[in-house]
């Protein structure tokens, strides 16, 4: 089984650990993260009329965790912390931050648990809008603050061929899929972390495996042993 992992260099170790024995792995980073200057994030927070009063903080990505102290400074002392996905939760816990609730799949599943505002969403410049829309539909004030941007990278001819030859390709976010879309063949299985990215990939590709969990190794072994259609 030929596998390509596509997260940024240094971020693929946990995925490689999920692969079955005998799998051959190539790392082909498809994106890079451009972090905003902390002063820029601080100034954007300070410009909000809700500064100092946020009672719910939604951390939408592990990349946002480095800015959480700035978000705390902009929030009420009793702010509750909500996390999108297990990777984000793990990053917060590693910083001794208690998480009130983790999303069940997509970020918008948190909406039913957040009933008081103002709400601060901390995440990417191109943040998904479903959660903010669901919260505003409940009459809550929502402020979204960007702290990073994920951008696609130019892929070399040799790396592009590695993606084309792969049996399995890991795609961590829609930004990575936008780069990989024209490289991944119809026969390749695309593994995604959750339902939001799965929805994006399924618009163009049928073979999608959802979930970067402990059972993934077994699922990939079954896939390798399955008779060809």
> Range of 18's domain?
2-30+153-225
Helix (H, G, I), strand (E, B) or coil at 72: helix
Whole-prediction pTM: 0.77
Domain termination site, one of 131, 150, 169: 150
Is the same domain home to 19 and 39? no
What's residue 172's pLDDT?
Answer: 86
Is the same domain home to 218 and 146? no
Is the same domain home to 56 and 102? yes
User: What CATH number corresponds to the domain at position 189?
Assistant: 3.40.50.10090
- pLDDT per position as a tens digit, 115-167: 999 999 999 988 888 889 999 999 999 999 999 998 889 999 999 999 999 99
- pLDDT per position as a tens digit, 10-41: 788 888 888 888 889 999 999 999 999 999 99
CB atoms within 10 A of CB 77: 7
């Amino acid at each position: 089984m030929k596998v390509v992992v596509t997260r940024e260099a240094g971020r693929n170790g946990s995925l490689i650990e999920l692969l079955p024995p005998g799998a051959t792995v190539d790392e082909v980073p498809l994106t890079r993260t451009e972090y905003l200057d902390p002063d820029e994030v601080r100034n954007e927070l300070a410009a909000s009329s809700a500064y100092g009063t946020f009672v719910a903080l939604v951390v939408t990505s592990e990349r946002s965790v480095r800015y959480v102290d700035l978000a705390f400074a902009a929030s009420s002392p009793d702010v509750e912390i909500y996390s999108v996905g297990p990777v984000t939760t793990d990053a917060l816990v590693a910083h001794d931050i208690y998480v009130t609730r983790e999303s069940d799949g997509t970020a918008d599943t948190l909406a039913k648990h957040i009933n008081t505002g103002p709400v601060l969403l901390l995440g990417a410049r191109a943040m998904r809008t479903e959660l903010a829309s669901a919260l505003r539909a409940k009459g809550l004030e929502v402020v979204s603050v960007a702290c990073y941007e994920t951008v696609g990278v130019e892929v070399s001819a040799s790396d592009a061929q590695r993606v084309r030859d792969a049996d399995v390709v890991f795609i961590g976010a829609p930004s990575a899929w936008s780069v990989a879309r024209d490289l991944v063949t119809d026969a390749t299985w695309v593994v995604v972390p959750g339902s939001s990215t799965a929805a994006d990939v399924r618009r163009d590709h049928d073979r999608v495996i959802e979930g970067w969990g402990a059972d993934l190794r077994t699922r990939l072994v079954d896939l390798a042993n399955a008779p060809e259609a």
